[in-house]
Amino acid sequence: MTEMVWSIVLLAAGFILLIKGADFFVEGSSSVAKTLKVPSIIIGLTIVAMGTSLPECAVSITAAMGGNNALAVSNAVGSNIFNLMVVCGFAALFNPLKAEKSTLKKEFPFSILCAVLLLVCGFLSMELGRADGLILLAIFVGFLIWMVRSALRARAQAGEEEYEVLPMWKCVVFIVGGVIAIKFGGDFVVDGASAIAARLGLSENLIGLTIVACGTSLPELVTSVVAAKKNELDMALGNVIGSNIFNILFVLGVAAAISPIAFIMENVVDIGILIAMSVVAWLFTATRQKLERSEGALMLLIYAGYLVYICTR
């Protein structure tokens, strides 16, 4: 019993470190980018999206290095499903989420294509090998270049923006402190989750899809809900889409490049569910170019049904 309590404490401490570490990293990095006159749209699509996905990155890479590959893939896929259905759904309850036509035509479909690519790579050999990981990373670099070029064009049309920035010394402290917190938080979450799974006789895949995925997606949830409450609706949706692309291309790309990730049939099914839910979220948003409160509530119900399914299969 003492070991179980210690594992739960370790898991909780890991989540706290991951969330606060990601928060500090995003704030410090964003401030540096603003000081260097980087357009805010680049910050939103890259730094904020990637920063809120650092917990997933830390957990999946730590799991891959430790040989817990089932946890690596289930965490990334589970986080993407949580981001789509819970983060978007919950944020829409506060304020219907509007989407730009370009987002619906480019970034959202691209995130679905990334999930399809992951399904194909994993299903063909039931493994995400080092070559697959390098391919995902190469596509991620291409995506970043595409985003930067699009953002620079947008900046040329919109003109300069006013920024409020932190002192440089505080930026350095936030970035370094955030990275350290994320590193140790990832270690704690993987160790705690693995111990709980072993103690309760649960699979690492189930733990990764539920407890770990929900915990590491808390930064996205907080960021998107706050953005929706502040009426920054594009950021709320963009954060989720950017994070989902980052989780597949970079997080699993790096994890597979470090150590090939063996797939089980449950992984294939879950990625198929992710694709289906992505299409549903995209269609909901595309109908009126926004995600309504009723649609957000329905997405939360769909996720609740998914949780029941994965816990009873």
Measured distance CA(52)–CA(236) in Å, rounded? 12
Q: Is 166 helix (H, G, I), strand (E, B) or coil?
A: coil
Mean pLDDT of 27-49: 67
Measured distance CA(209)–CA(307) in Å, rounded? 9
Question: Which residues lie closer than 8 Å to 297 by C-beta, 6 or more apart?
Answer: 89, 93
Residue-level pLDDT at 141: 93
Asked whether 220 and 243 are in contact (CB, 8 A), the reply is yes
Which among 234, 178, 229 has a CA at the least distance from the CA of 40? 234
CB burial of residue 5 (10 Å; 0-12, 13-18, 19+): exposed
Task: With a cut of 60, say whether residue 40 has pLDDT above it.
Answer: no
Task: With a cut of 60, say whether residue 189 has pLDDT above it.
Answer: yes
Q: Is 127 helix (H, G, I), strand (E, B) or coil?
A: strand
Task: With a cut of 80, say whether residue 11 has pLDDT above it.
Answer: yes
pTM for the predicted model, two decimal places: 0.77
Please tell me which of 11-25, 107-121, 251-265 the model is most confident about, judged by mean pLDDT. 107-121
Tens digit of each residue's pLDDT (9 = 90 or more) over 241-275: 888 999 899 989 988 988 888 888 888 999 999 99
What is the distance of C-alpha 116 from the center of its chain?
17
Place of tokens 């733990």: 207
Q: Give the range among 96-100, 138-142, 298-302 with minimum mean pLDDT.
A: 96-100
Residue-level pLDDT at 303: 93
Share of the chain above pLDDT 90, in %: 22
CA torsion sign for 37, 43, 44, 45 is positive
First to last CA, the chain: 27
Please tell me which of 30-34, 72-76, 111-115, 140-144 the model is most confident about, judged by mean pLDDT. 111-115
Tokens of residue 3, six digits: 């070991």
